[in-house]
Copies of this chain bind each other. A is one copy, B any other.
Amino acid sequence: MTAARRETPRERYRTQLRAEIKEHAWEQIATAGAPGLSLNAIAKQMGMSGPALYRYFSSRDELITELIRDAYRDLADTVRAAAAGGADLAGLGRALRTWALTDPQRYFLIYGTPIPGYHAPDDVTQTASLIMECLLDAARSSGRDVADDDPVRAHLAAHRQWAGDHPADAATLHRALLFWSRLHGILSLELAGHFTGMGLDPAELFASELRALTR
């Protein structure tokens, strides 16, 4: 068994309070976005005074990084749960959309406007490749192929390091990539409200792209 010496009460308390802080942070992000997140406001909500939070997160950036990490992990868990439940590529797409709709700002924390200076830590790219692995698995057993004569196939076959050691042919790589970019395109526009004034239903567009992908 793992060398887990019984965790001390202090450690318990510490992780518990960290979680509580993140809980309040998510509330704030959901209502005011990431730039509106204020450590002071969180502390006030929790009934303690400002600098106390620095015992748990060394800076505001570290808190946000942790939130991004959690968001990524949660997305990966969601996708993997759907895949484990026997979902095909379309099922993964629907799972992705419902996950994004439940908390748009959480989605934008991952796929939204990047902060110029910021660089994601290694483990989130690891989580990203976990997601990609699921996509590739599901993309293997999808419908018939389209655009198999596209020159990009050669490029994908040549540069497949992002797929790790996944045994997927160029068509599968292509489909997974299109799944990702196309669904993100619609989702991102929908969540940002770019469809609202147009009078059409984003769900229809999303479903349509999903059909085109799995046809």
Contact residues of A with B, CB < 8 Å? 30-36, 105, 108, 111-117, 125, 128, 147, 150-152, 155-156, 159, 161-162, 177-178, 180-186, 188-189, 191-194, 197-201, 204-205, 207-209, 211-212, 215
Of the candidates B113, B151, B185, B201, which one forms a contact with A184 in the assembled complex, judged by CB atoms under 8 Å apart?
B185
Q: Could you list some 19 contacts between A and B, CB below 8 A?
A: A30-B116, A32-B116, A32-B117, A33-B116, A35-B35, A105-B113, A112-B113, A112-B192, A113-B192, A147-B208, A150-B212, A152-B207, A155-B204, A159-B198, A162-B200, A178-B209, A182-B182, A184-B185, A184-B188
Give the complex CA separation of A198 and B156 in angstroms: 11
Query: Top 4 A-B pairs ranked by shortest CB distance?
Result: A185-B185, A112-B113, A162-B198, A152-B208
Please determine whether A201 and B159 come into contact, CB atoms closer than 8 angstroms.
yes
The distance from the CB of A178 to the nearest CB of chain B, in whole angstroms, is 8
Please determine whether B177 and A184 come into contact, CB atoms closer than 8 angstroms.
no
Measured between beta carbons, the chain B residues less than 8 angstroms from A197 are 125, 162
Please determine whether B117 and A113 come into contact, CB atoms closer than 8 angstroms.
no
Give the complex CA separation of A157 and B93 in angstroms: 25
Please determine whether A111 and B189 come into contact, CB atoms closer than 8 angstroms.
yes
Q: Is the interface of A mostly helix, strand, loop or mixed?
A: helix
Output the nearest chain B residue to A183 by Cβ-Cβ distance. Answer: B185
Please determine whether A113 and B116 come into contact, CB atoms closer than 8 angstroms.
no
User: Besides A32-B117, A181-B186, 7 other CB < 8 A contacts?
Assistant: A35-B35, A111-B194, A113-B192, A147-B208, A152-B204, A155-B200, A156-B200
Of the candidates B30, B117, B181, B192, which one forms a contact with A189 in the assembled complex, judged by CB atoms under 8 Å apart?
B181
Please determine whether B151 and A208 come into contact, CB atoms closer than 8 angstroms.
yes
Please determine whether B212 and A147 come into contact, CB atoms closer than 8 angstroms.
yes
Please determine whether A113 and B185 come into contact, CB atoms closer than 8 angstroms.
no
Please determine whether B211 and A150 come into contact, CB atoms closer than 8 angstroms.
yes
Measured between beta carbons, the chain B residues less than 8 angstroms from A111 are 188-189, 192, 194
Give the complex CA separation of A209 and B113 in angstroms: 22
The distance from the CB of A194 to the nearest CB of chain B, in whole angstroms, is 7
